[in-house]
Amino acid sequence: MIEKMEFGRTGHLSTRVIFGAAALGSVSQEVADRALEVLLQYGINHIDTAASYGDAELRIGPWMERHRQEFFLATKSGERTFQGAWDELQRSLERMRVDYVDLWQLHFLVDPQEWETAMGPGGALEAFVKAKEEGLTRFLGVTGHGWTAPRMLLRSLERFDFDAVLLPYNYVVMQNPAYAADFEELLRVCQERKVAMQTMKSIARGPWGEKTRTRYTWYEPLEAQADIDRAVHWVLARPSIFLISAGDVHLLPKVLDAATRFQAAPTDEEMQEMVSRLHMSPIFE
């Protein structure tokens, strides 16, 4: 089974691998239901989705009718105004057939102008606070993407006491000195305040570029089990962070299998060998 850890200050013991339900965005209910069986097999007890992940919330709905108490359920809103975010939450609750979510997150909040709108008067943050007051969500979070993600998440934590953050973290992206420095500062603040840190894109190989896309992930993922092992183990070697699984349902068993066998971090030499052999590169422009 996969290790569990306190999810920040929420009181929930979440598996260190969280199911990234973006993988359900373009699959049938039958395929989605098979994914649930995989989650149950590995003891995964935390699901992360978003209103913008295609049909993912719809696919989760039948699960919640049978297994609501077995999962910490998180979703996200990309809306930046109060009314837009509020309306989107109502749709999310209806689509997932639940009365509340455990974590509601401001999605991909890195653009400075969007940040000002969301955090200002009449912005999405006001809807988030209201939703928590009315019991529609238990906790609040914020997510980011791109090179400025850790810096913007720090800014969001200065503005509001969020319970969780989410951003990319893998070996390649952490070779960027500025990103790495900002990430470490964000991690320090999260540890001080008991804010849960979730990470994504653990098995990203690089942009698709001119290659034919063979997975639902917007980046080209690692494929070989040994390579996925290295990438997953490298992330899990940081004891205070969570890993969200890849956005392709067929990669889920490989990621979970890797996590069950985690013992120690691969060496820097092993990671550099993989980067060189597979011509790995950052997924951001």
Q: How does pLDDT run across 91-107, given as a tens digit for each residue?
A: 999 999 999 999 999 99
Spatial neighbors of 120 by CB under 8 A, at least 6 apart, are none
Is 52 inside a domain boundary? Answer: yes
Is 181 inside a domain boundary? Answer: yes
With contact defined as beta carbons under 8 Å apart, do 77 and 106 qualify?
yes
Is 285 inside a domain boundary? Answer: no
Is 284 inside a domain boundary? Answer: no
Q: Is the pLDDT of residue 259 over 90?
A: yes
Q: Does the model's pTM come out above 0.95?
A: yes
Is 213 inside a domain boundary? Answer: yes
Q: How does pLDDT run across 224-254, given as a tens digit for each residue?
A: 999 999 999 999 999 999 999 999 999 999 9
Q: Per the structure, how many domains does the chain have?
A: 1
Distance of CA 87 to the CA centre of its chain: 22
Is 206 inside a domain boundary? Answer: yes
List the CATH number of the domain containing 65: 3.20.20.100
| Residue whose C-alpha is closest to residue 57's, from 86, 93, 90 | 93
**Domain extent at residue 96:** 4-278
Is 283 inside a domain boundary? Answer: no
Is 119 inside a domain boundary? Answer: yes
